[in-house]
Amino acid sequence: MQKKLQTFLFLTTSALAIGSLTAISEKYISSYIDAFLPSTSKVDIFSRPGTIELISSEGLIIQKLGPATRQKIAPEKMPEIVVKAFVAAEDRRFYKHKGVDLWSILRATITNIKERSVVEGGSTITQQLARIIFLNQDKTLQRKLKEIGLAYKLERNLSKKQIVGQYLNNVYLGSNAYGISDASWIYFQKAPGQLSIAEAALIAGLAPAPSLYSPLVNIDLALKRRSIVLQKMRLENFISDSELSIAINSPVALEPATPKFSQSKAPFFTSHVEQELPHILSKEQLEIGGLKVITSVNFSWQLKAQEIIKQYSPPEAEGAIVSIEPKTGLIRVLVGGIDFNKNQFNRATQALRSPGSTFKIFPYIAAIQTGFKPEDVLFDTPRCWYGYCPKNFGNKYYGEVSLTHAFANSLNTIAVDLLSQVGFEKVITIANSLGIGKNTNLGKFYPLAIGAYEETILNMTAAYAGVANRGIYIKPSAIEEIRGPDDEIIWTHKSQKEKTTQVISPEVADTMNWMLRQVVLKGSGRAASLKNRQVAGKTGTSEGNRDLWFIGSIPQLTTSVWYGRDNNKEVKGSSGDSAYSWKQFMISIANDIENKNFPKSSYPKSF
């Protein structure tokens, strides 16, 4: 009896020792192998190579570029019928294996030998997820071994729900659909939770060969695949006999659509961002992708600006609106035309237009900087400068006028007179320091004083923002921050050394802002006046009424409104139309901006 007990204890102890040793060895070997494999945390933040997300300042996705999975579902919220359809179609033993299914591999091998071709695969859903996230499609032994190792690692670190959920979020399903959300929308214009059993089965049937089985390419083949998936679902008891019968006989009600987020919700703005990215990031960074670009656009303002341009543009004219935050240089609104779908030319950034009288701000700044004061008097009368004889609007001349009166009423003769007195160099230097004249050099000719030069709407807005910012010019930026594939910050607007430059003194800027306020209070910009808010702005009309401008600021925002025709013909309207549109836009966003005043000036409130 004692001997039997000793034998039992020996065997038990030996079994426990062997089991423990095996477990420890397995754990050690697993840990050793895992050290050479990527972290499974990448699954949660995975983006396909080349993908770039453009996000508004409020955190809204406004566009996704590249082969993007455009909308994801939390694994715990993945619709049950979708999970069942894919498990039945791709990996019926998914809940039984630990990442690799040897029985499936054996079965697939036998089937392929019989058919003398590869007709069945043995990869599990876990292996497919490992391939999508970490590997490529190369058919090599090394890649397959890595895939198997990663599949085991994923199973050790993630739950089955997480694995199948992330697989469904990232698997390619044809027609530029990456993930079940894309596919549901592209084929049926539905959310995954709205799919019927038949629809879920049809999409699940696409996974092995999306281009071949796509219902948009070959509906008969897609239906055959759907039937196979439905029958597999019945074999696994995922659906009943009646559900199988109904689903197999269901017609396919396709409603093709483009992927969500593939088309921009703010196309003029995002097209500008796309052009700016190569100046910030390397070609390699853009190709690798996985980028989140936090843009500067206020999406709700952008939508309102688009409507303003459509509603208030003069007949046959195009329009543009740009808003810049003076304190940061961030572009909050950029609309470059009435309808991007009809014409992609971005008038805010690509069109070089005559700024008309909005250019007058530069000779006036130069004059104030030289020692002129708003109350100083000049003589307004028809005059010529070396053969150039400017005329005032309506051929009206006022004789002795103060600088303030001349600026508020946009008198051309006084602007040219100031340019003549202070000299070309000072005016051009000030314009350059505020970002004007970088595309084309400013010429030393007298018509320059009244805007006989071409500049972009974006650059003119940034110049006025520099004045509103008490003389500190900040190069405009459409991007606040860029995060890389691992969510690390790789670029930020705040870190740019060139972001702030004091180009004119605060005193000169304050004086200029006071004069700009008089334009709106009593001058040519009265159509832009706002109740209980200080507005500093300037109208502008180019020769032949081809460009209509208003650029106006409140302390926190500088906005320009421009109207014109692409063929440079006359516009039926006036700069007052631009000023009125500016006012309507500002009214629409007023509740979002605190009511602040400009810094106090030593000058009186009237003139």
- Selection from 157, 175, 147, 162 nearest residue 83 by Cα: 162
Tokens of residue 132, six digits: 């999508």
- Kindly give the pairing relationship between strand 399-402 and strand 318-324: unpaired
Is 287 one of the catalytic residues? no
Amino acid at 152: Y
Q: What's the residue count for the chain?
A: 607
| H-type alpha helices, 343-447 | 361-370, 403-408, 412-422, 424-433
Please name the residues in contact with 548: beta carbons below 8 A apart, sequence gap of 6 or more: 314, 317, 540, 541, 562, 563, 564, 571, 573, 574, 575, 577, 578
- Selection from 320, 302, 318, 329 nearest residue 588 by Cα: 302
- Looking at residue 364, the DSSP 8-state letter turns out to be H
SS3 593: coil
DSSP-derived secondary structure for 210-273: HHHH-TTT-HHHHHHHHHHHHHHHHHTTSS-HHHHHHHHT--------PPTTTS-SSHHHHHHH
| Strand order through the sheet with 479-483 | 61-65, 52-55, 291-295, 479-483, 489-492
Tokens of residue 217, six digits: 């390419």
Tokens of residue 183, six digits: 């596919």
Of the listed 271, 357, 477, 575, which one is catalytic? 357
Please name the residues in contact with 291: beta carbons below 8 A apart, sequence gap of 6 or more: 47, 51, 52, 53, 281, 285, 482, 483, 484, 485
The number of CA neighbours under 13 Å toward the Cβ of 230 is 23
- Selection from 121, 129, 131 nearest residue 101 by Cα: 121
CA distance 308 to 322: 12
- Looking at residue 19, the DSSP 8-state letter turns out to be H
DSSP-derived secondary structure for 509-565: HHHHHHHHHHHHHHSTTGGG-BTTB--EEEEEE-GGG-EEEEEEEETTEEEEEEEE-
Degrees to nearest 5, angle at CA 109 with 108 and 114: 95
State how far Cα 477 lies from the chain centre.
13
Of the listed 53, 90, 199, 318, which one is catalytic? 90
Tokens of residue 367, six digits: 């004059």
- Selection from 321, 329, 323 nearest residue 466 by Cα: 329
**How buried is residue 457: exposed, middle or buried, by Cβ count under 10 Å (0-12/13-18/19+)?**
buried
Tokens of residue 551, six digits: 């650029």
Is 357 one of the catalytic residues? yes
Q: Give the count of beta carbons closer than 10 Å to the beta carbon of residue 539.
A: 27
Q: What are the catalytic residues?
A: 90, 357
